[in-house]
Amino acid sequence: VEASIPEELREAWKKHSATEFKNKDEFERDLVRHIETTLARSMYNCDELAAYSGTALAFRDRLIIEWNKTQQRQTFKDQKRIYYLSLEFLMGRTLDNAMLNVGLKDAARDGLSDLGFQIEDVINQEHDAALGNGGLGRLAACFLDSMATLNYPAWGYGLRYRYGIFKQEIVNGYQVEVPDYWLDNNPWEFPRHEITVDIQFYGNVKKYQDESGKIAHSWEDGEIVQAIAYDVPIPGYGTKTTNNLRLWSSKASSGEFDFQKFNAGEYESAVADQQRAETISAVLYPNDNLEQGKELRLKQQYFWCAASLFDIIRRFKKTKRAWGEFPDQVAIQLNDTHPALAIVELQRILIDKEGLEWDEAWTIVTKTFGYTNHTVLPEALEKWSVPLMQNLLPRHLQIIYDINMFFLQSVEKRFPNDRDILSRVSIIEESHPKMVRMAYLAIIGSHKVNGVAELHSDLLKTTLFKDFVKIYGPDRFTNVTNGITPRRWLHQANPRLSALIAEKLGSYDFLRDLTLLDKLEAFVDDKAFREEWAVIKRENKLRLARHIKATTGYDVNPNALFDVQVKRIHEYKRQQLNIFGVIHRYLSIKAMSAEEKKKVVPRVSIFGGKAAPGYWMAKTIIHLINKVADVVNKDPDVGDLLKVIFIADYNVSKAEIICPASDISEHISTAGTEGSGTSNMKFVLNGGLIIGTCDGANIEITREISEQNIFLFGNLAEDVEELRHRHFYGDFKLDPHLERVFNAIKDNMFGDKADFSALTSSIEDHGDYYLVSDDFNSYITTHEMVDEAFQNKEEWLAKSITSVARMGFFSMDRVTNEYADSIWNVEPLDVTD
């Protein structure tokens, strides 16, 4: 559709082209105009929510202007673009980030103050955009921030869930899930009602001869659901680039069919059809590191992949290039296997719709895709039942079988004497029912596969994907260690620390090149600087203490050691190890004389995180933490020496308060189970030390900041298999300190012991799969070392400063550049002209 204004009329447009506010006065003008017109409110009727909406609209105008220009520039330059396909984008709040990225937060602060508002209160009105579960979704959000900041032409593609991750309430110590309806007056999304794609499900496949006599396939009948695009602008920091995140929403297709139903008086059934269609994008599956194999989830995956590919291909076709150039224009990154169907869908379009030969199409497909694996946990690896897929996506299943056949033929040719390898690497698992192994499909359909930290990538190559390394050679597999955006996780979350660093380094350039932090090491002995550093940590702890008081009613002592573990609750992440350690500490304090108690370093143990609604053991862990808190926090024998806090509804905006306030944080997964972890990086970047196992990115953090600045403990990944094996054969002895803890639980010290028996018996009676007992002694001894180190304030400060100075490697910008060079082969787009 040509909707462009003729050349001779464009002067009139240019004269009135929208302009951006550039200072406080212009901001105030735009803010008041939006409040009085867009919101139809006035100075007699303006609460903080209206002030927030007005401010958001004023900044949104700026983003839109740059967003339009960026899209025009990218279309004009017509370079290769990156498409990041992720079922999760855990964005958090947008306003504060937008203010900082465009460099006008001070103007907004002053302007709001002139009009009677405090900027912090206004920022706090915003609801988090929480379209993700945890690390995987937050990584996608950090990618978007970095890609825009580095001027890469990049799009995110996701689903516009009506309900994001549930809100968590704690009632009588139990998690209660409350729906997160986040879409009402969300100013950051733009419905594009004109951008729609019809998506087909079910039906059947017809074979026919095309004009040239070739056998061809067409997918017919079934049902159609419509995808509608909603766009979200993604501004970079200190750049004009504003990229696009496109989220698809589902709706009943407004075809004749429904119209006929309405006309035939079948009003109710027509409405029911509508609701069924809308169900596809209704809710985010709330599982982290778990796949349940539900049909609706597969529908979500195909719906989103098909709509995104249609959109990408539509854009490519406008350039009138030959299909062979597709991989020179398009790089698609698969965030885990959730979008692996995109591989099959592209192959289908090329052979069924565009008439390409199989081999020609397959070359294009494999050059286009890259696949990132985030876990080795077996329960998280996606497998779809063949009958389910046969019913929902009959043509795709055929193509998967063909991909598999050609692949197995080539394997057979290369390894003629190895019969077993074929069944091991087959995309189809020969079980009952047969299953489609999505990770294998993703490997076979991509030119690069990467893990997210060194240990994790090594484990992929030596265990899960070993056969594929043999088949394809080691070059198809690579590592890109995760990172985080320093804009949100330092500058936005910890403005005072960011300002102090800027003062010392002479500018905020470190926010665009985090390796500049290394210059901080020169100031580690600077007395005034150290004092300022300590004051900022204290202020941040006070801010968290106020939040704890307001939400739990508990007072915590800001001089105590703040010990934090916030992340999804999972047995492999071992919050149970932490809470057992807390009970051990509690019992030790109870047994002390008054004299001995004087030597105890006061602690606040802070937990936060959601359990998947169906994950019983995770919910039991939350329950135990809250019960321990009930007992410990009101025990006069303990007083300020120990407090236990569970912060409800941990999310991105709470992380921004919590990360800057830790003295120590816990990253204590069973070695070999955590892909990378990214909150470890957030805490260290904010001057907290960490206690952790040799797992995920903890290992690279240790390499960067040195062993002296981290508290490592526990068995190594290489020992895990053997230990589990031994447990299985009865060689298991409960650690004596842990036994004391279990005895306390069994004495009903924290309420009915029956409530926690699943937890204790998974360790005592069922093989202790996560090695809690094996690591317990090492864990509590290391915590004693933490106490000791914390008493030496000067040394602790030196560790904190040195660690921050050495965190440059963990910038998401480094990560993005590595993907761009080694996977995408994409260049940034020059925005100066």
Instruction: Tell me how far, at minimum, the Cβ of 588 lies from ligand GPW, in Å.
Output: 32
End-to-end CA distance of the chain: 28
- For ligand GPW, the closer of residues 485 and 626 by Cβ is 485
Burial of 531 (0-12, 13-18, 19+ CB in 10 A): exposed
Alpha-carbon distance of 746 to 595, in angstroms, equals 29
Alpha-carbon distance of 699 to 697, in angstroms, equals 5
Instruction: Count the residues in the chain.
Output: 833
Instruction: Tell me how far, at minimum, the Cβ of 306 lies from ligand GPW, in Å.
Output: 21
53 with 185: CB under 8 angstroms? yes
Alpha-carbon distance of 765 to 787, in angstroms, equals 33
Alpha-carbon distance of 648 to 600, in angstroms, equals 28
How many helices (H) and strands (E) would you count in the chain? 34, 24
The 3-class SS string of 67-86 reads HHHHHHHHHHHCCCEEEEEC
Report the interhelical angle of 48-77 vs 95-102 (nearest 10°).
60
- For ligand GPW, the closer of residues 233 and 370 by Cβ is 370
Instruction: Tell me how far, at minimum, the Cβ of 384 lies from ligand GPW, in Å.
Output: 15
- For ligand GPW, the closer of residues 246 and 456 by Cβ is 456
Residue labelled with tokens 């787009």: 829
Q: Which of 97, 239, 404, 676 binds ligand GPW (CB under 6 A)?
A: 676
Nearest alpha-carbon partner for 197 in 280, 80, 88: 280
- For ligand GPW, the closer of residues 508 and 572 by Cβ is 572
| Interface stretch with ligand GPW, choices 181-189, 461-469, 675-683, 704-712 (CB under 6 A) | 675-683
Per-residue binder mask for ligand GPW (CB under 6 A), 235-274, x = binder: ----------------------------------------
Instruction: Tell me how far, at minimum, the Cβ of 681 lies from ligand GPW, in Å.
Output: 9
| Residues near ligand GPW (CB under 6 A), total | 19
- For ligand GPW, the closer of residues 156 and 327 by Cβ is 156
Burial of 174 (0-12, 13-18, 19+ CB in 10 A): middle
Q: Which of 696, 714, 767, 808 binds ligand GPW (CB under 6 A)?
A: 696
- For ligand GPW, the closer of residues 243 and 676 by Cβ is 676
Q: Is 620 in the site for ligand GPW (CB under 6 A)?
A: no
Q: Is 674 in the site for ligand GPW (CB under 6 A)?
A: yes
Instruction: Tell me how far, at minimum, the Cβ of 455 lies from ligand GPW, in Å.
Output: 11
Alpha-carbon distance of 544 to 549, in angstroms, equals 9
Q: Is 695 in the site for ligand GPW (CB under 6 A)?
A: no
Instruction: Tell me how far, at minimum, the Cβ of 718 lies from ligand GPW, in Å.
Output: 19
Q: Is 709 in the site for ligand GPW (CB under 6 A)?
A: no
- For ligand GPW, the closer of residues 286 and 828 by Cβ is 286
Q: Is 678 in the site for ligand GPW (CB under 6 A)?
A: yes
Per-residue binder mask for ligand GPW (CB under 6 A), 362-391, x = binder: ------------xx----x-----------
- For ligand GPW, the closer of residues 561 and 612 by Cβ is 612
Q: Where are the beta strands (DSSP E) in 164-311?
A: 167-171, 174-178, 190-201, 204-209, 215-220, 223-235, 242-252
Q: Is 681 in the site for ligand GPW (CB under 6 A)?
A: no
Instruction: Tell me how far, at minimum, the Cβ of 680 lies from ligand GPW, in Å.
Output: 9
The full DSSP string for 669-715 is: PPTT--S--SHHHHHHHTT-EEEE-S-TTHHHHHHHH-GGGSEE-S-
- For ligand GPW, the closer of residues 381 and 744 by Cβ is 381
- For ligand GPW, the closer of residues 62 and 488 by Cβ is 488
User: Which distant-in-sequence residues (6+ apart) come within 8 Å of 354 by Cβ?
Assistant: 323, 361
736 with 784: CB under 8 angstroms? no
| Interface stretch with ligand GPW, choices 167-175, 323-331, 521-529, 670-678 (CB under 6 A) | 670-678
Provide the Cα torsion 605, 609, 610, 611; round to 10°: -60
Interacting residues with ligand GPW between 107 and 146 (CB under 6 A) = 133-136, 139
Burial of 541 (0-12, 13-18, 19+ CB in 10 A): buried
Instruction: Tell me how far, at minimum, the Cβ of 132 lies from ligand GPW, in Å.
Output: 8
Positions marked catalytic: 374, 567-568, 573, 678, 682
- For ligand GPW, the closer of residues 292 and 409 by Cβ is 292
Instruction: Tell me how far, at minimum, the Cβ of 242 lies from ligand GPW, in Å.
Output: 25
C-alpha distances in angstroms, 507 versus 504, 517, 519, 742, 824? Answer: 8, 11, 12, 53, 32
Q: Which of 54, 203, 233, 677 binds ligand GPW (CB under 6 A)?
A: 677
Extract the tokens encoding 422.
């074929």
| Interface stretch with ligand GPW, choices 110-118, 312-320, 676-684, 727-735 (CB under 6 A) | 676-684
Interacting residues with ligand GPW between 325 and 344 (CB under 6 A) = 336
479 with 454: CB under 8 angstroms? yes
Instruction: Tell me how far, at minimum, the Cβ of 722 lies from ligand GPW, in Å.
Output: 23
Per-residue binder mask for ligand GPW (CB under 6 A), 442-481, x = binder: ----------x-----------------------------
Q: Which of 149, 308, 368, 482 binds ligand GPW (CB under 6 A)?
A: 482
- For ligand GPW, the closer of residues 305 and 789 by Cβ is 305
Instruction: Tell me how far, at minimum, the Cβ of 114 lies from ligand GPW, in Å.
Output: 42
Alpha-carbon distance of 132 to 90, in angstroms, equals 5
Instruction: Tell me how far, at minimum, the Cβ of 630 lies from ligand GPW, in Å.
Output: 30
Extract the tokens encoding 660.
């800057």
Q: Is 675 in the site for ligand GPW (CB under 6 A)?
A: yes
Alpha-carbon distance of 159 to 495, in angstroms, equals 32
Determine the 3-state secondary structure of 431 from DSSP.
coil
Extract the tokens encoding 712.
């490592």
| DSSP label at residue 353 | I
| Interface stretch with ligand GPW, choices 48-56, 208-216, 416-424, 673-681 (CB under 6 A) | 673-681
Alpha-carbon distance of 638 to 543, in angstroms, equals 24
Interacting residues with ligand GPW between 275 and 304 (CB under 6 A) = 288-289
327 with 367: CB under 8 angstroms? yes
Residues that bind ligand GPW (CB under 6 A): 133-136, 139, 288-289, 336, 374-375, 380, 452, 482, 674-678, 696
